Amino acid sequence: MEENVASLLKKNGIKATPQRLAIYNILKNTKSHPSAETIYKGLSKQFPTMSLATVYKTLGLLSRIGLIQEINVGEDSFRYDANTAPHPHIVCLKCKRVDDVGGYDVPQSYDTIAKNTHYKILSHQLYFYGYCPECKKGE
Amino acid sequence: MEENVASLLKKNGIKATPQRLAIYNILKNTKSHPSAETIYKGLSKQFPTMSLATVYKTLGLLSRIGLIQEINVGEDSFRYDANTAPHPHIVCLKCKRVDDVGGYDVPQSYDTIAKNTHYKILSHQLYFYGYCPECKKGE
DNA sequence: ATATAAAAGATATTAATTATTCATTGATAA
DNA sequence: TTATCAATGAATAATTAATATCTTTTATAT
């Protein structure tokens, strides 16, 4: 798996540095859709000298070659997801947690919408907002 | 119409200032989902002394009392829409134009998703991305 | 008309993100 | 093996959207 990523980077003419692989692995091994800041803190033990700018640059890089996706839940900062297949997200309005939504998505046939809007449609994002299992208790 | 908004503001204990009515009217009379900055520029002739902070404060206010909605298409800044009914938006990846999408939306029954995620769901946002009629010509 | 409480305007501040700079690393060719 | 050169990482500065603060002005009720 890690071999794959390394070679995929090289195929794109991008060096497979330890920092880049580490950032990708964090995303691959979590379901929590961390922000750049969160990833940065998570790597501070392993890479005490790494700069936040490196995290941002790497995330931009990985997004551009399609290894991860950037999601914007409408709050202050971006979140990142190594699951690049289209799938909806759900956001807790209280604790800002972001989860994947299974079992539902927009029909991938964009024909009707293209006809109505006259756009050429490439992708979509679907977000739900509410209270997560923990936070809804205190409502 | 403008009477309605003015009285609605007063009913909420909010002063109906010319600036506020003007900002609301801009949104009511356009389909273009302007940003705060765009609204600010659009009012600069009519209110040469108005500050950008006033625009932001008013937009926050109008959102809070449900007269407009804030949308986040995943770009740099927020957009605003006086159509507060849930409806999808479509974003041109080239010129950043934002349009409404008619004829399709997420089923408003959130039951299945609530069951899968264990969230209490309150709302959703659906965004499509692609190229608008003008920009798709140059692809 | 006036008092007063809220709002406007100006400016400063914050926070996320991006750009710039420079030293370092690492691959490649001799 | 080593010199060279481009790419990268790290530190810092810069940018930009949005918010907070403070003083002056204005809308509204009396």
Percentage of chain B modeled with pLDDT above 70: 98
Tokens of residue B104, six digits: 């399709």
Q: Which residue among B114, B125, B130 sits closest to A121, beta carbon to beta carbon?
A: B130
**Whether residue A31 is found in the same domain as residue A61:** yes
**Whether residue B76 is found in the same domain as residue B97:** no
**Whether residue A78 is found in the same domain as residue A101:** no
Residue at a domain's end among B84, B108, B131? B84
From start to end of A12-136, where are the E strands?
Answer: 69-71, 79-81, 89-92, 98-100, 120-131
Per-residue model confidence (pLDDT) at position B3: 52
Residue at a domain's end among A38, A60, A84? A84
d(CA A58, CA A74): 22
d(CA B65, CA B9): 9
Using DSSP, state whether B121 is helix, strand or coil. strand
**Whether residue A78 is found in the same domain as residue A91:** no
From start to end of B13-63, where are the E strands?
Answer: none
Q: Which residues of B touch A117 (CB under 8 A)?
A: 90, 99, 101-102, 128
Q: Which residue among B119, B128, B133 sits closest to A90, beta carbon to beta carbon?
A: B119
Per-residue model confidence (pLDDT) at position A1: 44
Top residue of B75, B97, B124 to mutate, by most chain A CBs within 10 Å, is B124
Phi and psi for B42 in degrees, rounded to 5?
-65, -25
CA end-to-end distance (rounded Å), chain B: 42
**Whether residue B38 is found in the same domain as residue B97:** no
Cβ–Cβ under 8 Å, residues B80 and B34: yes
From start to end of chain B, where are the E strands?
Answer: 69-71, 79-81, 89-92, 98-100, 120-131
- A69 against B103, higher pLDDT: A69
Q: Which residues of B touch A119 (CB under 8 A)?
A: 90, 92, 99, 128, 130-133, 136
d(CA B27, CA B22): 9
- B74 against B20, higher pLDDT: B20
Per-residue model confidence (pLDDT) at position A81: 96
Give the number of domains in chain A.
Answer: 2
Task: Tell me the pLDDT of chain B averaged across its residues.
Answer: 92
Any idea what the CATH number is for the domain that residue B25 is in?
Answer: 1.10.10.10
**Whether residue B63 is found in the same domain as residue B5:** yes
**Whether residue B13 is found in the same domain as residue B77:** yes
Residue-wise pLDDT for B3-62, tens only, equals: 588 988 988 889 999 999 999 999 999 999 999 999 999 999 999 999 999 999 999 999
Per-residue model confidence (pLDDT) at position B104: 86
**Whether residue B130 is found in the same domain as residue B64:** no
Determine the average pLDDT of the residues in B83-109.
91
In order along its 139 residues, chain A shows pLDDT tens digits of 445 788 888 877 788 888 999 999 999 999 999 999 999 999 988 888 899 999 999 999 999 888 999 999 887 789 999 999 999 999 999 999 999 998 888 887 899 999 999 999 999 999 999 999 999 987 7
**Whether residue A78 is found in the same domain as residue A93:** no
In sign, the C-alpha dihedral spanning B111, B113, B119, B120 is negative
**Whether residue A51 is found in the same domain as residue A99:** no
Domain span including residue A34: 1-84
Residue at a domain's end among B68, B84, B100? B84
Backbone dihedral region for residue A48 (phi beyond 0: left; psi -120 to 50: alpha; all else: beta): alpha
**Whether residue B72 is found in the same domain as residue B94:** no
Per-residue model confidence (pLDDT) at position A75: 75
**Whether residue B132 is found in the same domain as residue B94:** yes
CA end-to-end distance (rounded Å), chain A: 43
Any idea what the CATH number is for the domain that residue B120 is in?
Answer: 3.30.1490.190
